[in-house]
Every structure is written in structure tokens, then in C-alpha cells.
Structure 1
Amino acid sequence: MALTLAEYAKMGYSAEDREKIVDAFTVKVAFFRQSDWKEIIEVCNPKRSELVS
């Protein structure tokens, strides 16, 4: 779930901070390879991993 600018402002973040947070998160998500996602899903939810494979 993405936060809106207003929600970030309530927490004391500026628009620039929000961009940095979003950029950092995007990089982390892009860093995972498909195989990593499969392992993560298996750890979090073993039954769901069968649907992915």
C-alpha cells in the first residue's frame, strides 16, 4: 500500500524525503531475482509457493 504525500507530511516527511524512500524501496524490490521471490513466498506462506512454481 502506497502512502500519499499528505500521509507522509503527517509523519513529518517532505516530498523530497518521500521520493528518497520510494526510490530506495524500488531499488530493493528490483534487486530481488525471481528465485528470491519464490523463496520469500515459501518462507512466508508455504501453500502459496505451489502456485508460483
Structure 2
Amino acid sequence: MAERRASVFEVEHEIDAETIRKAQRAVASRSRDALECKDLLSILGILHITPARE
């Protein structure tokens, strides 16, 4: 099985949950459809990151 590579956001712990959520929402609001949104979030490395509640 292929190893999952850590995203930039997981490696750089300086980015907080609010920033990740804002990035996810910005991509979602500007995507043409769900597939494009998924692809862009994947490219950014924030597709499967669920921001922790603070």
C-alpha cells in the first residue's frame, strides 16, 4: 500500500484550524463543481484535514 504523504498544512503546524477552514471554504465557493473542488483541495493538501475545534 502506498504511504500517504503529509500535506504542507500537516507539516507546518503554524497554520491554525481557522485558516484551514477558510481555505477550504474559499476553494469550495469558487469551484465549478464538486470534482473540481475535490481536486483543488487535494492539490493544496487540505482535502482530508478536519480542523480541530479550539
Pairwise same-fold verdict (TM > 0.5): no
Q: Which has the larger radius of gyration?
A: 1
The alignment's TM-score, normalised by the length of structure 1, stands at 0.31
**What TM-score do the two structures reach when normalised by structure 2?**
0.30
- Bigger RCO (CA 8 Å, 6+ sep): 2
